[in-house]
Amino acid sequence: MFEIGISSNNECGNNIAEICANVKNAGFNNIMISFKVGGEENAILEAKKHGLKIPFVHLNNKYANDLWAKGESNIEYVNDVIKQIRLCAKYDIHIAVLHGTEGCASNLALPPTQHALDCMNEILNAASKYNVKLALENLDAPNFEHFTFLLNNIDSQWLGLCYDVGHHNLYRPDFDILEKYGNRILAVHLHDNLMDWEIGYDHTRDLHMLPFDGKIDYDKVCEKLANTNYDNVIMLELHKLSCGEPRLYDDMPIDKYLKKAKERALKIIEKIEQYK
């Protein structure tokens, strides 16, 4: 039976301590810690203090486009990712979600090259050393080729898939990600949106709404997930204050919002089990 979890960047508190307390009080036992520069270890310790398990973390993606560059910024990026991997190992966290690009449609990465593959393989060598698998997340449409380039050209047990259902249905619903890469799935990000992105929009259509509040067909999603070997946490990646209109949850009390989030996660589990 699946367990449920929620990401730490859910905006349900003024700081990580409040967020962890509210998440635990709502009945979640798992949290995905989203790394922020300088606050990663403190966030892990707060989660553990509140009795929350961390099935996987989300690495800091601020400079992910530097994977595709050459020179000092590229070297710094690779070293920083390896540093984050070491931190995961320190706390027995064995899966980390990675962005192949920064994940914003208005910020294009340089074209894919062998150099980027070499850099990723250097990162994966460290991942192997520290026993931390990397789950590559599907992101925006303009940088989607970088995502497929890495998975198509690196056959490693240390590089798998983080399936982001919101990004898939917003940016590339025409590409069957789970059909292509479902056998490599390590993590999921579950949320909703209005499926209304088009060329010219920035990230603000990536709403990270509660599942079933938008237009994503969750029956189809759950059937697809049921046909994979996914056995990790059903992880919600939500933004209570949203990334754009409509702002459905601004005035909703945190406890009510998290109660709804828990109900939606359990509903997803129920649907997946029905399709197995």
In tens digits, the chain (276 residues) has pLDDT values of 899 999 999 999 999 999 999 999 999 999 999 998 678 999 999 999 999 999 999 999 889 999 999 999 999 999 999 999 999 999 999 999 999 999 877 788 999 999 999 999 999 999 999 999 999 999 999 999 999 999 999 999 999 999 999 999 999 999 999 999 999 999 999 999 999 999 888 889 999 999 999 999 999 999 999 999 999 999 999 999 988 999 999 999 999 999 999 999 999 999 999 999
The structure tokens listed for 187 are 């993590």
Enclosing domain of residue 145? 4-275
The DSSP 8-state label assigned to residue 187 in this structure reads: E
Q: List Cβ neighbours of 47 (8 Å cut-off, separation of 6 or more).
A: 8, 20, 31, 33, 54
Total structural domains in the chain?
A: 1
| Residue 125 identity | N
Helix axes 218-226 and 254-275, enclosed angle (nearest 10): 50
Q: What is the CATH number of the domain that holds 17?
A: 3.20.20.150
